[in-house]
Amino acid sequence: MFLLTKGKQWTNWSETVHSQPSKIVYPKSIDEVCQIVKRASDNQEKIRVVGAGHSFTPIAATTGYLMSLDYLAGVLSIDEHNQTAEVLAGTRLYDLTTQLAAKGFAQENLGDINVQSLAGAILTGTHGTGVKFGNIATQVVALTLVKATGELLTITPDHQEVPLQAAAISLGLLGVVVKVTIRIVPAPMYCYISNKYRFDDLLNDLPDLIEENRHFECFLFPYSDMVQVKTMNLSEEKPRSLRKHRLSALVMENYAFKFLSETARMIPKTSRSISRLSARAIGSSIVYAKSHDLFATQRRVKFREMEYSIPLEYLIEALAAMKAKIEQMKYNVHFPIEVRIVKGDDIWLSTAYGRNSAFIAIHMYKGMAFKQFFYDMDQVLTAYQARPHWGKMHEMKLSQLHSAFPKLHQFLDIRKHVDPEGVFLNSYFTSLFELNIEDKLTVSHSSTLK
């Protein structure tokens, strides 16, 4: 029988969202998910599912049932011929990549951490980088969810009632996703290179860097002309030990950075020098390893994050505008700005819907003032047709979301059709989408940008 806890507070990874679910349930089978959903529906309770709680917004928060699929995890089967894998939705990405690697396979692209649940990553449009690769939801071939009635619904690309393009990034609003079939690829061998670049050179070379590298990302350090460029490309070299690379990342990006971040928190005026110091410390490195060993990094320093996607062609102009604004306003910020690239797709709520996109992420260390900085960057980026990452902070209103996501209307119609009583809603979504369904449930969060 499923595990159940009561009276426990739930908090997300970044410790910016807190809620008091009436129950936290851990089903151990798909049947149990169906029973719990049916019971909650019959009792007019609300349900949200939580993956790894790595979203910065209150999208998983509820004062109804909070369902964790931590016990509904694992790879069910791998079809080597068709290169697909059927996976239980609660599987953490680190487990998935390890299990795939054991059979010689991999996901074609991943983000920069691997602790998320597969469903959580898919449903929010989590992405990695590389102009030839879509976000993780584009890897979905089919998914099975438990509807508000407790019945199962399997959605394949030819499904009429609920198109896969609506379900793939559906924020947990259509039901509990229990199983996903994803496309996989033979595990590639990569050469990873990290290098220092001058900002002006980067702007000149950006189109080539994006086009010529399979995976390209860069980190711009505020108040510095130095940029870190990371690339990953196919290689025929043999994998080498990652010990030194991992140790250096652990020390530089976590322990040393935590110390510097604490200094910046206690004496905010040091942020600018700390950013310059971090930029000077960028080292050059080359590493050869399998893809899943390279995509993921450890993130032990807690922060808030806002990430917007813009059409790729505006990237250079947008970066220059952000840099100018930062230098004019002198915000106390020492975290680098992260830039990644994602191929356009046809998923309705995808931040890359219909366009190759550049993703620009800004961060602020936990405990430091962020509102003015985030608000101003929002203002800069919204001038470039920005779309917010669904799992990260933003303050876009419904009208802005409708212009940013042209298929949002159709998605909301499907949501209403599939879950008319709003079993899978919480107060964050009723407010964000201005839904006229009574929801007395409240969650506390602090995402207001100004």
CA distances from 303 to 264, 299, 392 (A): 13, 10, 11
Least separation in angstroms between residue 200's CB and ligand FAD is 27
Q: Which of 110, 79, 72 is nearest to 93 (CA)?
A: 110
Q: Which is nearer to ligand FAD, 113 or 229 (CB)?
A: 113
| 388 touching ligand FAD, by CB under 6 A | no
Of the ranges 22-30, 116-124, 204-212, 244-252, which one interacts with ligand FAD (CB under 6 A)? 116-124
Number of residues binding to ligand FAD, judged by CB under 6 A: 33
Residue where the block lists tokens 């399979």: 214
User: Contacting ligand FAD (CB under 6 A), which of 21, 27, 51, 422?
Assistant: 51
**Which residues are registered as beta bridge partners of 78?**
85
**63 sits near ligand FAD (criterion: CB under 6 A):** no
Answer for the pair 58, 19: CB distance below 8 angstroms, yes or no.
yes
Nearer to ligand FAD by C-beta: 76 or 267? 76
Binding track over 5-44 against ligand FAD, x by CB under 6 A: --------xx------------------------------
Q: Does 117 bind ligand FAD (CB under 6 A)?
A: yes
Q: How many residues make up the chain in this entry?
A: 450
116 binds ligand FAD (CB under 6 A): yes
List the one residue from 50, 88, 318, 349 that touches ligand FAD (CB under 6 A).
50
User: 28-45 in b/e burial notation, b at 16+ Cβ within 10 A?
Assistant: eebebbbbbbbebbeeeb
Q: Of 111 and 163, which CB lies nearer to ligand FAD in the complex structure?
A: 111
- As beta bridge partners, residue 68 has 50
Task: Decide if residue 299 touches ligand FAD (CB under 6 A).
Answer: yes
Residue 172 contacts ligand FAD per CB under 6 A: yes
Told to check if 96 binds ligand FAD by CB under 6 A, we report no
**Residue the block writes with tokens 């510095």:** 224
Is 290 a binding residue for ligand FAD by CB under 6 A? The answer is no
Q: Residue from 120, 130, 134, 163 that binds ligand FAD (CB under 6 A)?
A: 120
Three-state DSSP state, 317: helix
Q: How far is 323 from 337, CA to CA, in rounded Å?
A: 10
- Phi-psi category of 187—alpha, beta or left, where left has phi over 0 and alpha has psi -120 to 50? beta
Q: Which residues pair with 226 in a beta bridge?
A: 198
Residue 379: which of 398, 394, 363 has the closest Cα?
394
Residue 55 lies near ligand FAD (rule: CB under 6 A): yes
Q: Any contact of residue 60 with ligand FAD (CB under 6 A)?
A: yes
Asked if residue 266 lies in contact with residue 81, where contact means CB atoms within 8 angstroms, the answer is no
Do residues 48 and 66 make contact, with C-beta atoms less than 8 angstroms apart?
yes
CB of 329 to ligand FAD, least distance (A): 26
Site for ligand FAD, rule CB under 6 A? 13-14, 48-55, 59-60, 69, 89, 111-113, 116-117, 119-121, 123-124, 126-127, 171-172, 176-177, 299, 389, 391
